[in-house]
Structure 1
Amino acid sequence: MTLLASNYENDPIDVFAGDWMSEGNMTVRAGSKIDGAGQVDAYEPTFLEALEPALPYIAKYRIKVAVNAGASDTKKLHEVVTKMVKTKGLTLSVAWISGDEVLPQLLEAQKRGELPFENICTGEKLEDWQFEPIYAQAYLGGLGIAKAFENGADIVVCGRVSDASPVIGAAYWWHTWQRSDLDKLANAFVAGHLSECSSYSTGGNYSGFKDLETLGWQNIGYPIVEISHSGEVIVTKNKGSGGEVSVNTLTSQFLYEIQGPWYFNSDVTAILDNIWFEHLSTNRVALRGVKGDLPPPTTKVGITAKGGYQAEMHWFITGLDIPAKARMVETQICTLMGPHTSNFSHLSFQTIGSVPLNPTNQNSATVDFRVIAQARKSADLAPAKFVRPCIDPIMCAYPGATPHLDLRQAFPKEIFEYYVTLLPQSSVSHQVHLPSGKILDIPPPFEAKVYPKQQPTQDTTAHAVDLKSFGKTVESPIGTIVHARSGDKGSDCNVGFWVRHQDEYAWLRNLLSAPFIKKLLAEEYKGGRVERCEFPGLRAVHFLLKDHLDRGVSCTSSIDFLGKNCAEYLRCRVVDVPQRFLARGKI
C-alpha cells in the first residue's frame, strides 16, 4: 500500500480495494475466535502491517480504503485501525461492516426445518454432517461499503464480504449507480475478480511465466482497474513494476475460481458466455462482453467445525526400486501402528516425486514418502500411536532409509472442517457502522432470480471437427502449447485451458471433452461429476471438478491443498499435438 500511495503524484489511484480472506484463514480465524473467547485477535494482522506506513499518504491524497481483513473480528479491527489513525494525528474516518456472522440464523432456520442447507460441493445435507458447526460466515455484497463511503468514511473494514465486493462498492459509490445498473455492476464485479488476487493478474501463477523473466520476476506489479461511469473496465498496473498486464495474464486470473458461465454475487450475477479481452497498449487491457443479470436470492455461507487433528511424517527414498522401498516401509509402519488405526479417521501413504533415468545429482534421485493421519481426538495421534510407529523401522527399513529429523509436523495439530451452503439474503443483517455511532441497514436485493442448481454444461463441443483434420501429430505434453490455471472452491477444483491462436482453439475444444479430461486426470480422477463450458472469446475451455479436493484447504490430506497444481499436472500429460502448432514455438 505504501508503494502505491507514496507514488500518488506520478501514478494516482482513488481507492485501495483489499482482499485478505480465503477459505483457509476463514476457518483458522473462526477457530481462534471461538477458542480465544474474545482474548485472541481473529482479524488479519498483515493488513495492519500494510496499512500503518501508508496512512500518512492515504490521508494526504484522500485515498479511500475498503478491505475484508476483519476476518472473524471486524469490530476489533475497526477499534485498532481507529486508534492507529488517532495516534498518528490523522483525520481519517473509519467505518466497519457487520452481518457476515450468521451461525444463529442458520441454526434457527435448520431447527425450523426451513431449508436442507445442502453442501454446494458435495450435495450433503447439513443435518447429515458429522461435525458440529462452531461458526458461519455469509458472503456479503459491496453496497454496505458504498454506503459507508457515501457517508464520509475514508477506511471501511469488513469481514467476509466477497472477494470482489470492495471493488463493486467503490465503483457503486464513485459513480452513484443504482441496483438496477446490472451490466455496470457485473463489469465491476469481474473487475474485482481480476484484481482481488493481487499479482495473479500481472504474471503471478501464470503458465507463461518464462516470458516474464526479462520483465522482472522479482518485482511483479499490482493490478489497477479503471472503471468508467458506463461500467467499462480497463486493467493496468502500477508504473515501474515488473510482470505485465496482458490478455493472457488476465485470462489466467479470470479462469481461476469461476464455477461456470454464471458468476454469482450478492449484488449481481455476471453472465460470462461472451467475455473477451482487448489489448489496447502495453499493460492496458480492456474487459469486454460481460453482461449483468439479477442476483440470486441466496448468498454463499462457509461453516466451520472442529474437524479433529492431523499429523504427518516424512521419509526420503533415493535411487532404484522406489515403489518396493515405499511398500516395505509402509508395511513396517502399518504393523507397528496397527493397534491404533481404528481410531484414525484417515491414514494414507504418499510417494511424492519420481526419479529420472540416470540422474546426475542425488536430490533429483530422491522422493518424499509422506505418512499422514487424521483423528477426531488429539490423544489418538499421540507420539506413541503415530510418530513412534513411523520412525521406529529406521534400523530395519529399505536401503538408505532416512526419516526427516524435523518432527514438528508429526505431532497432532488441530484442523477444521469447512462446509459450503446457501442462506437467503433476507436472513442476513447487513449493516454499516459509522464513526458517529450511527448504524445503517443495507436491505437485500429488491429483485432476485432463482438459477438452476447446476451451471450450463456440455460434455463435448457443439462445434465438432475431426481431430485428424489438423494434420500430422506429435506426442507432446499438452502444456507445450496450452496454458492452464486451476484453483479451489471448497472441495471443488476448477481448471481452465486456453490457447494463443484461433485454429488451436478449434483443436482444443474438440480435444477437451468431459470424458477426455477424466482420462487426462488418470489416477487423479476421483469419480466425481465434471462440468464443462467454453469461453470462445478467450479461446478457453473450463472444467469444474466436483468434490475433487478432499474436503477443502483446512483439512485436506493432499499436498495440493489449494488445487493450484491440478492445472500444472494436466499440462504435463502427453497428448497428440498437431505438428504445425508446435512449429510456432512452445509456451
Structure 2
Amino acid sequence: MAPDPTSTSGSVRIGNASGFYGDRLTAVHEMLDGGQLDYLTGDYLAELTMLILGKDRMKDPSRGYAKTFLRQMETSLGLAVEKGVQVVVNAGGLNPHGLAVALRELAQQLGVDAHIAFVNGDDLAPRAAELGLGTPITANAYLGGFGIKAALDRGADVVVTGRVTDASLTVGAAAAAFGWGYDGLDAIAGAVVAGHVIECGTQATGGNYSFFSEIPMDRPLGFPIAEVASDGSSIITKHDDTGGAVSVGTVTAQLLYEVQGPRYYNPDATALLDTIALAQAGPDRVAITGVRGEAPPRDLKVSLNHLAGVRNEVDVVITGLDVEAKAALFQTQFEAALPSRPAELTWELSRLDRADADTQEQASAVLRCVARDPDPKVVGRPFSATAVELALASFPGFTMTSPPGNGAPYGVFEPGYVDAGLVEHRVNQPDGVSVLIEPSPLRTEPGRDHSVPDSGPVDDWGPTRRAPLGEIVGARSGDKGGSANIGVWTKGRAEFTWLDQILTVDNLKDLLPEVADLTVHRYRLPQMNALNFVIEGVLGRGVAENVRFDPQAKGLGEWLRSRVVDIPEQFAR
C-alpha cells in the first residue's frame, strides 16, 4: 500500500535556513523560534563561493569559512541546544576545523554546553597534482552525508562541514534519524530529492517563481521544511504564519534548478528524477513519493577553481541617433589607441534605447567592452586611461556609467573527478575522536542519460493565438559550471503534451538565437510535466569569468518565457 501523502507519522522535520552565503541573516533564529524542528540545515557554498573563500584563505590562513554563520550562532546556539535541534551546515567551506574551533569558543563565552563536530577531507588542493587535478587554488571533493550521520549519531549539537553536496546535509540528518545504511538506495534517493528541494531556501516557497503573482509576498518568505519519512518519502512545507507558499509548482521549479538529465548523481545514491511523484497534500504541503535510487557513481565530483588573470570593463552610454555608428566609431578609436591588446577583448551593444523617447535614459544604449589578460598591466590603468582619453575626442554625447577602474583578478571553475576511495572523508567527533568514513561499497560506473531532441509528430491542436510562452509555461534556469540549464514545466497534462511536441532543441535555438551555435541537450521528465535543457558553454568558463551580463543564467528561463509562439486557444486562461 502506498504511504498516505498527508501523514507525518514517523517522520522527522528537517528545516533549511540558508540557500547561499549572504542569505537572510535572521533566518536561523526564525526557523528555530517559528515551530517544531528536529534538524536545521544551512547551505552556504556555491562554485563561486569556493573561489571567494579561497581568496580569503590566501590573505589569511585562519579564514576560509562563512563568517555569517558564526554571527548567527551568537543569538541562536543556545536556542538550538535548548530545543534539541541538531544543526548541520556546510559553512565550514575551506576551513571547517577553524569554524568548529570558533564555535567552541563561542559556546564557552555564551555558557552553552554545545557539542561541536566537523567533517573534512574534501580539500584536495595539497594533493591536486598527485591526483591529476592540476594546480588549482581550491580543489574540493563533493562528499556524501554519512560523515554527518556519524557525527549526529555521536550526539553532536552542531555539525560543520566543508564541501559536501548540497543535498548531503539532508541525507546525513535523515540517515541518522532512521539508521539507514548504504544499501537503502531508494530511501537515500528520496532524501537527496528532499534535500535538493530545500537546499536553496526560499526558492522552494515562492522565491524566483515564474508565476510570482500567485505567491503571498506581503511579508518575508518562510524557509522550507522537509518532513522526511523512514522510506525516504517526504512532505515539503514551511512554518505557519510565514510568507510565501509551498505548491506543486514551487517544488517543481526548485527540482528543475541546476540539474541535467534524469539521473541526479550524489555520493550515497543516484536519484532518478523521472520517478518523482508530486501531490498537493494540503495548504503549503507537497508530498514527494515514488523516488527510486541507483547505486552512486564510483567517482566524486571535485570543484576546481583557478586564478585565470585580471578582468576590466568599460561601459559607454550612447544616446539618441546613429547608435550603431557611434558604437563602431568608439570601438575603432579605442582598439587603435590601446598600448597593448588584451588576450581577450569582447564588445556588446545593449540596445535599451527607444525612438522618440520621453526621457534621456530611455533614449540611451550601453556599449560594454570587457578585457581579460594574465598580465594586470595590460588591462589595468592603461586600459582605463585609453577610455578616459577619448572622452572629448569621440562621438557626440560621450559619457560612461562610471569611471573605469584598474581591473580585478578573476577565477574560473571546472569540474574534476576522483575515485571516492582516494578521498579521506573524515568526521571529527565532539569528543575529539577522528573517524574515517568509507565510501559506499555499492559504487559503480554511473548510468548515462541520453538527450531526446524531440518527441515525434506534432498533433493538430486546433486554432492558435500568438502569445508569450510564459502564459502557460513556467521556467527555472541556473548555472552548471560553464553550462546552464533551463527547466520548463506546465501545470496541466495537456499543456505538457503540447510543449513536449513543439519545444524541440531546434525550436529552442530559434527562440534563443544566442545559443544557436551551442550544443543543447534535451531531457524529458514527464511525471513532473517538465522538460530540461542543458546548454553547453553558454557561460564560458563559469560564473567568475562573467562572460554574460547574467553570468549565472538566472534570467535565461524568463527570456524563453517572454518569446512569442503559437499557443492553442484551448489553453487560454
Give the TM-score normalised by the residue count of structure 1: 0.90
Cα distance in 1 for residues equivalent to 2:129 and 2:344:
28
Task: Say yes or no: does 1:61 pair with 2:83.
Answer: yes
- What is the aligned-residue identity percentage? 34
CA contact (8 A) 2:233 2:291 kept: no
Cα distance in 1 for residues equivalent to 2:147 and 2:31:
29
Bigger drift between 8-17 and 240-249 goes to 8-17
Instruction: Name the counterpart of 1:326.
Output: 327
Question: Any residues of structure 2 matched to 1:31-42 within 5 Å, and which?
Answer: 31-33=55-57, 35-36=58-59, 38-39=61-62, 41-42=63-64
Task: Say yes or no: does 1:203 pair with 2:206.
Answer: yes
Deviation per CA, 1:276-296: give whole Å up to 9, x if none.
Answer: 310011100011232111101
Instruction: Name the counterpart of 2:73.
Output: 51
**Which of the numbers 155, 160, 166 marks the counterpart of 1:157?**
160
Task: Say yes or no: does 1:547 pair with 2:537.
Answer: yes
Question: Any residues of structure 2 matched to 1:94-493 within 5 Å, and which?
Answer: 94-110=116-132, 132-212=135-215, 215-337=216-338, 339-341=339-341, 344-384=342-382, 386-407=383-404, 410-452=405-447, 454-461=448-455, 464-466=457-459, 469-493=460-484
Aligned-pair Cα RMSD in Å: 1.8
The DSSP-based 3-state class of the residue aligned with 1:309 is strand
Deviation per CA, 1:511-559: give whole Å up to 9, x if none.
Answer: 111122122221343x332111111121111111122211001223222
CA contact (8 A) 1:312 1:411 kept: no
The DSSP-based 3-state class of the residue aligned with 1:296 is coil
Q: 4+ residue runs of structure 1 moved beyond 6 angstroms?
A: none
CA contact (8 A) 1:304 1:417 kept: yes
Cα distance in 2 for residues equivalent to 1:77 and 1:15:
19
What is the one-letter code of the residue matched to 1:31? K
What is the one-letter code of the residue matched to 1:25? T
Cα distance in 2 for residues equivalent to 1:546 and 1:3:
35
Instruction: Name the counterpart of 2:51.
Output: 27
Instruction: Name the counterpart of 2:10.
Output: none
Question: Relative to structure 1, is the Cα distance of residues 10 and 51 closer, same or farther in structure 2, using a 3 angstrom cutoff?
Answer: closer
Q: Report deviation, 1:229.
A: 1.4
Question: Any residues of structure 2 matched to 1:83-98 within 5 Å, and which?
Answer: 83-98=105-120
Question: Relative to structure 1, is the Cα distance of residues 428 and 354 closer, same or farther in structure 2, using a 3 angstrom cutoff?
Answer: same
CA contact (8 A) 1:78 1:94 kept: yes
Deviation per CA, 1:201-244: give whole Å up to 9, x if none.
Answer: 111111111222xx125411101110011211000012211111
The DSSP-based 3-state class of the residue aligned with 2:544 is coil
Q: Report deviation, 1:8.
A: 5.2
CA contact (8 A) 1:28 1:416 kept: no
CA contact (8 A) 2:43 2:199 kept: yes
Cα distance in 1 for residues equivalent to 2:210 and 2:155:
43
What is the one-letter code of the residue matched to 2:458? V
CA contact (8 A) 2:261 2:449 kept: yes
The DSSP-based 3-state class of the residue aligned with 2:271 is strand
CA contact (8 A) 2:312 2:380 kept: no
What is the one-letter code of the residue matched to 1:329? F
Q: Report deviation, 1:353.
A: 4.6
The DSSP-based 3-state class of the residue aligned with 2:241 is coil
Deviation per CA, 1:22-61: give whole Å up to 9, x if none.
Answer: 000111212332x22515x111112222222111211210
The DSSP-based 3-state class of the residue aligned with 1:206 is coil
Q: Report deviation, 1:323.
A: 2.3
What is the one-letter code of the residue matched to 1:183? D
Cα distance in 1 for residues equivalent to 2:361 and 2:508:
32
Deviation per CA, 1:70-104: give whole Å up to 9, x if none.
Answer: 11111111111111111100011000011101134
Deviation per CA, 1:225-264: give whole Å up to 9, x if none.
Answer: 1001121100001221111111111111110111110000
Cα distance in 1 for residues equivalent to 2:232 and 2:472:
34
Instruction: Name the counterpart of 1:113.
Output: none
What is the one-letter code of the residue matched to 2:414? Y
What is the one-letter code of the residue matched to 2:39? V
Cα distance in 2 for residues equivalent to 1:406 and 1:279:
53
CA contact (8 A) 1:6 1:54 kept: no
Cα distance in 1 for residues equivalent to 2:93 and 2:371:
29
Deviation per CA, 1:143-184: give whole Å up to 9, x if none.
Answer: 100100001111010110111111000000011111111111
Runs of 5+ unmatched residues, structure 2 = 1-16, 18-25
What is the one-letter code of the residue matched to 1:523? E
Q: Report deviation, 1:3.
A: 5.3
What is the one-letter code of the residue matched to 1:383? R
Cα distance in 2 for residues equivalent to 1:319 and 1:168:
57
Question: Relative to structure 1, is the Cα distance of residues 501 and 6 closer, same or farther in structure 2, using a 3 angstrom cutoff?
Answer: closer
Q: Report deviation, 1:4.
A: 5.8
CA contact (8 A) 1:43 1:70 kept: yes
Cα distance in 2 for residues equivalent to 1:44 and 1:177:
30
Q: Report deviation, 1:322.
A: 2.7
Cα distance in 2 for residues equivalent to 1:61 and 1:569:
45
Cα distance in 2 for residues equivalent to 1:82 and 1:437:
12
The DSSP-based 3-state class of the residue aligned with 1:485 is strand
Cα distance in 2 for residues equivalent to 1:9 and 1:274:
35
CA contact (8 A) 1:4 1:238 kept: no
Cα distance in 2 for residues equivalent to 1:58 and 1:395:
62
Instruction: Name the counterpart of 2:6.
Output: none
Cα distance in 2 for residues equivalent to 1:448 and 1:149:
24
The DSSP-based 3-state class of the residue aligned with 2:274 is coil
CA contact (8 A) 2:114 2:158 kept: yes
Question: Relative to structure 1, is the Cα distance of residues 240 and 322 closer, same or farther in structure 2, using a 3 angstrom cutoff?
Answer: farther
What is the one-letter code of the residue matched to 1:181? G
Cα distance in 2 for residues equivalent to 1:91 and 1:368:
57
Bigger drift between 490-499 and 328-337 goes to 328-337
Cα distance in 1 for residues equivalent to 2:145 and 2:184:
14
Bigger drift between 419-428 and 321-330 goes to 321-330
Deviation per CA, 1:351-387: give whole Å up to 9, x if none.
Answer: 2352245544333333332211111021122212x11
CA contact (8 A) 2:41 2:87 kept: yes
**Which of the numbers 507, 511, 516 marks the counterpart of 1:516?**
507
Q: Report deviation, 1:562.
A: 0.8
The DSSP-based 3-state class of the residue aligned with 2:226 is strand
Cα distance in 2 for residues equivalent to 1:64 and 1:447:
29
Cα distance in 2 for residues equivalent to 1:134 and 1:296:
26
